[in-house]
Structure 1
Amino acid sequence: MKTYYSIFLLLIFNYSFACSCIPTPSMEKALDETDVVVTGKVLSKESFGKKDGRLPRYFASNVKYKVEVTKIHKGKIKKGIITIVTGPAMGGDCGVFFQIGKSYTIYAEVTLIDTGGKKVEFLETTICTRTAKADKTESAKIEKYCKLKGYS
């Protein structure tokens, strides 16, 4: 009996909250469920969070990427440089690792947080979206679907 109890306790205390989002949603589902979809080139990366003092504790280690938008597929944003927020992509946090200088199609949610009296809006993405390196074939399919649904 002690053995079973020990195994039970071991399982409970070793339970982790890793990111789990398999399978990747279909293009249509991802487009329907996200606020913004853009293609753009990643310009820079900056870690932020706890030391920053302006954000809630659960943002203790996130990453901001500056992205030069080359195509807006869905959403009401301006072309130019935008900020995308994600986790540090260190395993289990659902963050996306973007390579500086590479182009990606980014599916993002508009997220609003209260930073102590001031509400801040930003775009957030995770590995649970279809965010990936830009692909001309996928981009053509996105354009076609967005026009059909009236997103663009």
Structure 2
Amino acid sequence: MSKNLSGMISVYTLTAFLFMLSSCSHPDSVVNESTATRKSIGRWRLSGIKSGWTNIMSTPAKKVVLVIDEQRQAIVFEDGKETVRFQYILTEANPGILRYSIHQQSGASTLFYPPTHGNFRVSSKQLIIGDTGVNGNDYFFAKQY
């Protein structure tokens, strides 16, 4: 009887743990190209930069705002001054994984310089651009309302 009770407790504990783990993922993360385009439209404030080399998140030294329109045109402003313009294309690399490629770019930035290819993750509150998987940076943006 105690073996059965012990086994049942283990099963319930594992089930609860898996439920909590699945609840930690962002519920409105987007993996569909058209939905990602729609959710990415707007003004985004750079809130952090995560290094692929060190895995350390740092706070940006300047106020950086990224503005994205319906045609996937993006403009980067650093402390209110336009520094970079680019257009990007989204593709679904694997089921559930969106990648971006920068099609055109002009200008230069000392703080936010997205790689020409990388991962693209967006929800209603957060946008992450970059590729720490290949030792690059991930740029974390918070939606401005």
Report TM bin, short chain.
Answer: 0.3 to 0.5
In the superposition, the TM-score normalised over structure 1's length comes to: 0.35
Normalising by structure 2, we get a TM-score of: 0.36
Larger radius of gyration: 2
Larger strand share, 1 or 2: 2
